[in-house]
Amino acid sequence: MINKTEETIFSKIIRKEIPVNIIYQDKLVTAFYDKYPKTPVHVLIVTNKIIPTINDITTDDEIIIGRLFTVAKNIAQSHGISESGYRLIINCNSHGGQEIFHLHVHLLGGRSLGPLVVS
């Protein structure tokens, strides 16, 4: 069972207690470069509110979820990858590959990612 109010490493990044290169922050979301990038552009966009998984989103969170996607679009544009393309990934729970239980989007781009292959 996931504690829905449990602090995460992302909570500390949002509060700037852990130094990272924050590229965007407002009252709803924070975006920063992934520490272990998988592509030339690999940005994490996290909700400032602790929402453990997609399954925990409520109707009250709709504006936050919308902001995740508009920020992703703007970051892709500012990194020059919006025209060539990019991928947004959200993992949900352990079988979905989620490792940190604080809702976040991976923005991946900067090279051809090919088709999504599930093994």
Tell me the pLDDT of the chain (119 aa) as tens digits: 455 568 999 999 999 999 999 999 999 999 999 999 999 999 999 999 999 999 999 999 999 999 999 999 999 999 999 999 999 999 999 999 999 999 999 999 999 998 887 76
pTM, full prediction: 0.92
What is the model's pLDDT at position 119? 66
Sheet holding 86-89, edge to edge: 22-25, 29-33, 41-47, 104-109, 86-89
Contact 79, 109 (CB under 8 A): yes
- Residues 48 and 64: their CA atoms lie apart, in Å, by 9
Q: Which of 42, 95, 104, 106 is catalytic?
A: 104
- Residues 31 and 14: their CA atoms lie apart, in Å, by 9
CB atoms < 10 A from the CB of 20, how many?
16
- Report whether CATH 3.30.428.10 matches the domain 9-109: yes
What is the model's pLDDT at position 4? 56
Chain centroid, CA 28 distance in Å: 12
- Residues 71 and 60: their CA atoms lie apart, in Å, by 19
Is 95 catalytic? The answer is no
13: left (phi > 0), else alpha (psi -120 to 50), else beta? alpha
Closest CA to 32 of 65, 54, 6, 10: 10
